[in-house]
């Protein structure tokens, strides 16, 4: 049996042309992941509850489609080396969980690691890549987050390419999320390997800060935002920079959650919620389901937004060109006090070498819409005068008249 299995895996790897699945993640993936809120406290009941919550809350209608279980779902490998879920936490088996999620019109994502063990110490995929890919396909997996712990002696490109090939050989289209924390500059090589790649270490729920763990750090929202500078040229349909999952609803004030969500949408980042969807507040719900803001993230042009100027007193100004000649502009107030701004559209030129953007706003008249208050703010014929609260954002969409 073992010899036959080995031959089968070898034939699969040799006869399938190695590549990633195309025509997936043409816009940044949207969904939910268990790690930020629940860490290792995962079970089939949790996944079903989150699938129910996405369906009933309007999040599915807003575009969230992936339910992704992170680390700690694992049981043991059997005598042939195939992985099984923890039978205590997943008594029905993982295929039954996937079937339930699919019955809600959603897609199912799972987690593994390129090393011998996952970051939480469970069986990793090293040496079992093709077996795991076959198993995931049989379960109905649609998305794989692939981590980088316990990988001594491996190279990132080699390990991630091996799993890419294994997924393709198994035949079920899977969005492949590379999670090696940006250490080997995956934006330079990841386009042909995966659909998204982490650009930094892990996020945590603070507006601006760092937690040093010795050999690695967790980063606040603004620290991660700063690390995206210069990466915009690598993003586009089917291949996205991933500044990590959302912390909206996990303890920051509403204004900071709003700024966090706004800037991730400006970055064309994957929108992977990480809160308890079943108990979220109305304020959290309203942020996560703001269709006008989500539309920036999901714009089919697929350009990652970029900072193009700074106003006095810590106001950073970002632009994101959109399809149809429209433009999103974010005024981000990073200071601890409210700031008044006067912004002269007619004197503004937006330039970014990475995205090939060069736009003089005086060449066209635009109407201005505030995407959070839903109010029209006139046109670009006159200067914009506004107050931007502390740790908050004024986010507008410019539409040609």
What's the whole-model pTM score?
A: 0.95
Total number of residues shown for the chain: 401
Terminal alpha carbon distance of the chain:
69
Of the candidates 202, 276, 297, 299, the residue annotated as catalytic is 202
Q: Percent of the chain beyond pLDDT 90?
A: 94
SS3 77: strand
Of the candidates 70, 142, 147, 297, the residue annotated as catalytic is 147
Tokens of 266: 């400006």
Is the per-residue pLDDT at 316 higher than 60?
yes
* DSSP assigned state of 363: G
Q: Percent of the chain beyond pLDDT 70?
A: 96
**Region 376-396 average pLDDT:** 97
Task: Centre a 10 Å sphere on the Cβ of residue 211 and count the other Cβ atoms it contains.
Answer: 13
Residue with tokens 């019109």: 105
**Structure confidence at residue 375 (pLDDT):** 98
- Hey, which bits of 194-238 come out as E strands? 196-198, 210-212, 217-219
Q: Confirm if 199 and 242 have CB atoms less than 8 A apart.
A: yes
**Structure confidence at residue 3 (pLDDT):** 34
Is the per-residue pLDDT at 332 higher than 70?
yes
**Structure confidence at residue 17 (pLDDT):** 64
Residue 312: CA atoms inside 13 Å, Cβ hemisphere, count?
6
| pLDDT, tens only, 180-226 | 999 999 999 999 999 999 999 999 999 999 999 998 899 999 999 99
Residue with tokens 């034939």: 11
The domains of the chain, with CATH numbers, are 2-297 (3.20.20.70), 306-400 (2.60.40.1180)
Catalytic residue status for 202: yes
Kindly report the CA angle at 291 between 288 and 295, in degrees rounded to 5? 110
| pLDDT, tens only, 274-290 | 999 999 999 999 999 99
């Amino acid at each position: 049996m073992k010899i036959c299995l080995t031959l089968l895996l070898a034939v699969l790897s040799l006869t399938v042309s190695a590549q990633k699945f195309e025509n997936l993640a043409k816009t940044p993936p949207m969904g939910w992941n268990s790690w930020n809120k629940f860490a290792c406290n995962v079970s089939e009941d949790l996944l079903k509850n989150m699938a129910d919550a996405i369906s009933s809350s309007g999040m599915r209608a807003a575009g969230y489609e992936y339910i992704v279980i992170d680390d700690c779902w694992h049981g043991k490998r059997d005598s042939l080396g195939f992985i099984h879920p923890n039978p205590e936490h997943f008594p029905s088996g993982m295929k039954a969980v996937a079937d339930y999620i699919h019955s809600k019109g959603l897609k199912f994502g799972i987690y593994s690691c390129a090393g011998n063990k996952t970051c939480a110490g469970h069986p990793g995929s090293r040496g079992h890549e093709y077996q795991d890919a076959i198993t995931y396909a049989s379960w109905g997996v649609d998305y794989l987050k692939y981590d980088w712990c316990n990988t001594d002696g491996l190279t990132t490109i080699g390990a991630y390419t091996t799993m890419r090939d294994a997924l393709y050989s198994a035949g079920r289209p899977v969005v492949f999320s590379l999670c090696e924390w940006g250490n080997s500059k995956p934006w330079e090589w990841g386009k042909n390997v995966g659909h998204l790649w982490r650009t930094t270490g892990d996020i945590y729920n603070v507006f601006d800060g760092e937690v040093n763990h010795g050999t690695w750090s967790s980063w606040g929202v603004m620290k991660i935002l700063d690390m995206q500078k210069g990466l915009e040229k690598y993003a586009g349909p089917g291949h996205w920079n991933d500044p990590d999952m959302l912390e909206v609803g996990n303890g920051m004030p509403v204004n900071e959650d709003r700024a966090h969500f706004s800037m991730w949408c400006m970055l064309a980042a994957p929108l992977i919620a990480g809160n308890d969807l079943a108990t979220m507040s109305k304020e959290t719900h309203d942020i996560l389901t703001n269709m006008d803001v989500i539309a920036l993230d999901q714009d089919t042009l697929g350009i990652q937004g970029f900072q193009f100027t700074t106003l006095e007193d810590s106001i950073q100004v970002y632009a994101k060109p959109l399809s149809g000649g429209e433009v999103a502009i974010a005024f981000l107030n990073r200071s601890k006090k409210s700031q008044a701004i006067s912004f002269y559209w007619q004197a503004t030129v937006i330039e970014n070498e990475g995205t090939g953007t060069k736009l003089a706003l005086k060449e066209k008249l635009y109407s201005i819409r505030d995407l959070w208050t839903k109010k029209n703010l006139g046109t670009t014929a006159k200067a914009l005068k506004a107050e931007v609260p502390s740790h908050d954002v004024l986010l507008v969409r410019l539409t040609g008249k």
